[in-house]
Chains A and B, each alone.
Chain A
Amino acid sequence: MKQLKFDPLNIVICGIGGQGNVLASEVVGSAMADRGYHVAVGETYGASQRGGSVMSHVRVSVDKEMGVLISSGEAHIIIGFEPLETLRMARKYAGLNTMVVYDSRPVYPLGVLQGVQTYPALEDISAEIQSLSAAAYAVPAADIAMEVGDSRSANIALLGAFTQLPDAPLSREDLEKILQQRFKGAVLELNQKAFAMGCEAVSGKGGNA
């Protein structure tokens, strides 16, 4: 079993109900457990199907018993499915070492559409995510998903982006294998395409976005 750069390694996955973040946390968590690590996953999805914020914590350790929640400021990686939710979680969980990949496509809260709330300017959101983290990469995951033909594969694109972070515990090849185990036929093909595009969205940028 490989030592981890941080032990426990703390990953926050956040977004809105229905975006597939619970699946993403389950994929990462079981892959690490299969490799013999201790894993703790905490999912907050009480309101998952009804437009509320949802969040998963995935924690990995070589030998430690862990609680399912991450302390504030202790995340090493944040995977965000929506910019506002990414910032909300970065404010709470980001610290000096945190790397962020997030979908830059906003999903407006109901109150914003109804004109009683204001969605902050995207530039302000991304600037603050940058300033709170060690590195942050905006990935057009929902656009990638629409392009490959299924809006539900946005989470797979983000997982691709995640593997390109230097601190990611799973490589591109690791996750490609998992995709092959989990999906087949046309769905696999589509997810593979989304995954590759997600990888490139980060690796193409080289350094700090």
Chain B
Amino acid sequence: MTANAPGQVCLMQGNEAIVRGAVEAGINFAASYPGSPSSQVLGMLGKIAKERNFYAEWSTNEVCAMEACIGASLANARALCIVKQNGLLCVADALHCGAQHGVKGGLVVVTSDDPSAHSSTNEFDSRYQAMSASIPMLEPTSMQETKDMIPYAFELSERTKQIVIVRLTTRVCHGRGNVTLGPLPEKPHELKRVGEWDRLVCVSYMHNSMLQKMDVLRQEFEACPFNHYVGPDAPKGLIVAGGTGRLYAQEAIARLGVGDRVGLLSLATIWPLPEQYILNYLRSAEKVLTLEEVDPVLEHNLEAIAGKNRLSITFSGRSDGALPKIGELDPDNVTAAISMLTGVSLPEKKTSSQLELPERELTFCAGCPHRATFYLLKKVLRQEKNPGVVVGDIGCYIMSGQSAGHYAYQACNCMGSGINLAEGLGQLTNYGLDQKVVTVCGDSTFFHTIMPGLVNATYHHANMLLMVLDNSATAMTGFQPHPATGLTAMGDHVKPMDIQKIVEAVGCDVEIADPFDVEETEKTLRRLLKKPGMNVLIMRQPCATLMSKQQRRPVRVYVDQDKCQGDGCGCDKYCSRVWGCPGNTWDFQKNKARIDPVTCVGCGVCAKLCPNGAIKVEGGEEK
């Protein structure tokens, strides 16, 4: 990643290409909060920051990250902020204000959209943010373009004194491809003292200068080296691709053999659009297919350009069903859309049998403390007079809406929302709502956006229980450090923050429980649910994946085959059916419970739950 070997070709992941591009651009500052698919970027930057003499930080949330980058820009720093689609929405206010006052040192925001929501709760199209804030946006299609676009974006940002957004999608972030390395600068970009009359202030009279920057950018993009066209002169059928669709289309055109009759226009400059450049190809077109990820943003903008120029064109793409309205582009749906455009299709493939294949539902990992937490919570709430309400937050524990978490979740909005949803419900318990209100959040989420909600709910005496599922990790995105871990992105050891002390300082009652200590924790939960006012319970047990990464397998768990009565036991397969850990498998030949030695991490909770005491724990400290 830091080899100064221009011309060398490496197989690079899209996320790695961002890192390499940032190093080639000589960045001074990088900040991010983890969000997939671009979670890996800042972690890698943190590891090489000292060597390349820049600063990298896992910020407490995206707003901290974005605003810190604006601050750094004031000192002429080249600053890189990395967010996912939802993170970009979090920073919307800072982004819109920032666009109005502009930048001094180059400021590039990398946003990763997740079409098909592979690792997200929703699909979202970041392009609206660029359009709404009047910020230029670029979108690469390959790993090479991704790497090359980062230094280009920094230069553009400095030349136009404006923030630049680079939009990536999952297939770029998580894909790999050949990348030819460029040269590395000798040292990072030069910092400059903040002058007495330097200003980055958002005031209304800057609106006009912001719009003028857009005019300059529109001109600039007319000749952007990342836009290109392949195909016949004056094409009647035109494919316009923004993003990954270009590569799928290129292959589909070759396979269908329609290269002589359709043109492929690839646009990297997503906003503002280079109208004259596009019109060169649009003027001859009768039919236009637009390939883009998530919403028909490009398609509608092309329609507007065609309308303004009184061109009569039939448009197709995301909006008319030529491509699916939801989900990502892939070679198959792109090929089908090009078949529709050209009337040329491929032969059908052989069909498979009728055998039904069960889907693989997501679940908590074997030994995950969340499984025990939701098992206990649901058990206790079921024993209440009225079933309670559980509202949640974003993290691995979002799976508690499924069978993995005993269908506990009834509402979950965005990061940091759980405590506020619960506060709303908790207040209504004084107005006739006769239910216990519980919310959960993770330890990283606690710092991200739970803290203001905690202050609000405590100050206003909501009747509710906040469970902080403290697994010592930002587990869902890959174990990034957060303020309670005592580690920073650059590997420095710092004083960890204590969630318990923070809650106490707010003036809230707080207790700590171990989800693996099922008997005691059940009692604690029952007691806290009866207690009026705002209560906090920290469920403390490290993430199972973190434990297995450290190769700590304290005990061996096995099923005593003589004691397990299998189907004959009245328990109705309690271990695998109710507890539902992937480590608790079933021997369908013997009809008895079995522990899968490959999957089991030895938490031993199932041994405490087996009504017949057939599950044994060997070694370690048995409780």
Contact = CB atoms under 8 A, between A and B. Distances in A.
Do A and B belong to a common assembly? yes
Given A69-B330, A109-B361, A110-B404, A50 B396 contact: yes
Interface in A112-130: 112-115, 117-120, 124-125, 128
A137 B586 CA distance: 26
11 contacts: A36-B9, A39-B176, A40-B177, A47-B119, A51-B582, A69-B331, A72-B332, A84-B360, A91-B357, A108-B586, A110-B361
Interface in B367-415: 396, 399, 403-404
Nearest to A112: B358
Contacts of A109: 358-361
A118 B359 CA distance: 10
Given A39-B11, A52-B360, A65 B250 contact: yes
A197 interface: no
Contacts of A69: 171, 248, 330-331
A128 B353 contact: yes
Interface stretch (B62-70, B421-429, B572-580): B572-580
B247 interface: yes
A39 B175 CA distance: 10
Nearest to B593: A113
B44 to A, nearest CB: 15
A114 B572 CA distance: 10
Interface in B264-305: none
- List 3 tightest A-B contacts by C-beta distance, closest first: A46-B118, A46-B119, A67-B247
A72 B176 contact: no
Contacts of A172: none
Interface in A9-55: 16, 18, 26, 29-30, 33-34, 36, 38-47, 49-53
A41 B15 CA distance: 13
Central interface residue in B360, B573, B580, by most chain A CB within 10 Å: B360
A49 B597 CA distance: 17
Interface string B320-353: 0000000000111001000000000000011011
A4 interface: no
A72 B357 CA distance: 18
A113 B584 contact: yes
Contact of A114 (B255, B353, B577): B577
A113 B353 CA distance: 24
A108 B475 CA distance: 24
Contact of B585 (A18, A41, A108): A108
Nearest to A151: B598
Interface of B: 9-11, 36-37, 114, 117-120, 142, 170-171, 174-178, 244, 247-248, 250-251, 255, 330-332, 335, 349-350, 352-353, 355-365, 396, 399, 403-404, 475, 545, 573, 576-577, 580, 582, 584-586, 596-599
A142 B576 CA distance: 21
A82 to B, nearest CB: 9
Contact of B365 (A36, A38, A50): A50
A26 B11 CA distance: 9
B11 A41 contact: yes
A146 B600 CA distance: 13
Contact of A43 (B175, B178, B584, B597): B175
Interface string A117-155: 111100011001001100000000010011000010000
B358 A42 contact: no
A113 B586 contact: yes
B403 A110 contact: yes
A161 to B, nearest CB: 18
A47 B175 contact: no
Contacts of B37: 46
Interface in A63-91: 65-73, 84-85, 87-88, 90-91
Nearest to B9: A33
Contact of B582 (A34, A44, A67, A110): A110
Nearest to B399: A50
Nearest to B171: A68
Contact of B355 (A45, A46, A66, A128): A128
B362 A29 contact: no
A36 B335 CA distance: 29
B448 to A, nearest CB: 20
A95 interface: yes
Nearest to A19: B598
Contacts of B36: 46
Main secondary structure of the interface of A (DSSP, over half): mixed
A32 B508 CA distance: 58
Contact of B597 (A16, A34, A146): A146
B425 to A, nearest CB: 28
Contact of B11 (A16, A30, A52, A124): A30
Contact of B331 (A34, A65, A70): A70
A79 B154 CA distance: 42
A111 interface: yes
B598 A146 contact: yes
B174 A51 contact: no
A84 to B, nearest CB: 6
B358 A50 contact: no
Contacts of A42: 171, 174-176
B598 A87 contact: no
B567 to A, nearest CB: 11
Central interface residue in B361, B576, B577, by most chain A CB within 10 Å: B361
Central interface residue in A44, A51, A84, A125, by most chain B CB within 10 Å: A51
Contacts of B597: 146, 151
Nearest to A8: B251
A162 B362 CA distance: 28
Nearest to B349: A73
Given A39-B178, A68-B177, 15 more contacts: A33-B178, A38-B177, A46-B36, A46-B119, A50-B363, A51-B582, A52-B360, A67-B251, A69-B331, A72-B332, A91-B352, A111-B403, A112-B358, A113-B582, A115-B573
Contacts of A73: 349
Contact of A33 (B11, B120, B350): B11
Central interface residue in B177, B475, B582, by most chain A CB within 10 Å: B177
A178 to B, nearest CB: 13
Central interface residue in A69, A115, A117, A142, by most chain B CB within 10 Å: A69
B454 to A, nearest CB: 28
A65 B266 CA distance: 14
B217 to A, nearest CB: 28
A66 B358 contact: no
A30 B349 CA distance: 31
A91 B597 CA distance: 30
A29 B247 contact: no
Given A29-B11, A65-B247, A67-B331, A114 B580 contact: yes
Contacts of A50: 362-365, 396, 399
Contacts of B177: 38-41, 68
A188 B169 CA distance: 36
A87 to B, nearest CB: 6
A122 B361 CA distance: 20
Contacts of B117: 46
A41 B172 CA distance: 10
A95 B350 CA distance: 8
Contacts of B118: 44-47
A146 B176 CA distance: 31
Nearest to B347: A73
B358 A113 contact: no
